[in-house]
Amino acid sequence: MGMKSKIEWTESTWNPVTGCTKISPGCAHCYAERMARRLRAMGQPNYARGFEVTVHEESLDLPLRWKRPQTIFVNSMSDLFHDEVPFEFVRKVFGVMEEASWHRFQVLTKRSARLAELAPLLPWPDNVWMGVTVENADYAFRIDHLRTVAAAVRFLSLEPLLGPMPGLNLSGIDWVIVGGESGPGARAMEPAWAIDLLGQCRRSGVPFFFKQWGGVNKKKAGRTLDGRVYNEMPAARQPT
């Protein structure tokens, strides 16, 4: 059984890599960094180096031991396409995902340039969904990088949503997740930004998932947008 996840759009997490560095404004209040500090203080051996990028060979085969098919978020505590993760290790992670064909894997990166560079050298089985995080319009170029990747499902995590994102090009995108920032020092999300993105998804026929408003009290702020909950998931695209 994987580590059960509280993340609304997945079931389990698998962290063959831990640790990361900040690359853009969405990273400012990194949840994984806070968590890693806590785990290090508790003496968790995988976090002995705190939030330094560390690969864990011994964690590679975990999904092969989880027999119940599940949706697995890969590296919730890192970024698989970080420059400090050797290509050989990235390829091993993809090898495991290909072998563990009964699971569905969700990979998310902010390092879209390295993703685009390595993608042609990696296998893209149907059970691997690839996403990029885009927190404001300055980083919309990550979507263009993602579009070049031959993944069966390509998705966007617009979280924490830190500004309006009018006129996104959603061609070749299969799913959009929107969410506000939660936790200490959370930056507020304007309802208009989220409603505009919902409209863009509707016009492009892209499934829309509204994760949360965020804020310091995430539970109180809730998950309804314009009076309803959006839990839409992508239908896997047929190979063309």
User: For residues 150 and 119, is the Cβ–Cβ distance under 8 A?
Assistant: yes
User: For residues 58 and 92, is the Cβ–Cβ distance under 8 A?
Assistant: no
Q: What does each C-alpha distance from 159 to 27, 57, 107 come to in angstroms?
A: 10, 29, 15
Q: 234 in a domain, yes or no?
A: no
Q: 73 in a domain, yes or no?
A: yes
- Report which secondary-structure segment, H or E, holds 54: strand 54-55
DSSP 93: H
DSSP 13: E
Q: 51 in a domain, yes or no?
A: yes
Q: List the beta strands (DSSP E) in 41-174.
A: 54-55, 71-74, 104-109, 128-133, 153-158
| Tokens describing residue 144 | 């263009």
Query: How do beta strands 128-133 and 104-109 pair?
Result: parallel
Round to whole Å and give the CA distance between 227 and 38.
36
pLDDT at 1: 58
Q: What is the pLDDT along the chain (240 residues), one digit of tens a residue?
A: 567 888 899 999 999 999 999 999 999 999 999 999 999 999 999 999 999 999 999 999 999 999 999 999 999 999 999 999 999 999 999 999 999 999 999 999 999 999 999 999 999 999 999 999 999 999 999 999 999 999 999 999 999 999 999 999 999 999 999 999 988 889 999 999 999 999 999 999 999 999 999 986 777 778 999 899 999 999 865 443
Q: 240 in a domain, yes or no?
A: no
Nearest by Cα to 14 from 93, 112, 125: 93
Counted domains in the chain? 1
pLDDT at 239: 44
pLDDT at 235: 81
Q: 237 in a domain, yes or no?
A: no
Q: 48 in a domain, yes or no?
A: yes
Q: 144 in a domain, yes or no?
A: yes
Round to whole Å and give the CA distance between 8 and 185.
21
Q: 239 in a domain, yes or no?
A: no
Residues present in the chain in total: 240
pLDDT at 240: 39
Helices then strands, counting H and E runs in the chain, come out as 7, 12
Domain that holds residue 159: 3-229
Nearest by Cα to 96 from 122, 120, 76: 122
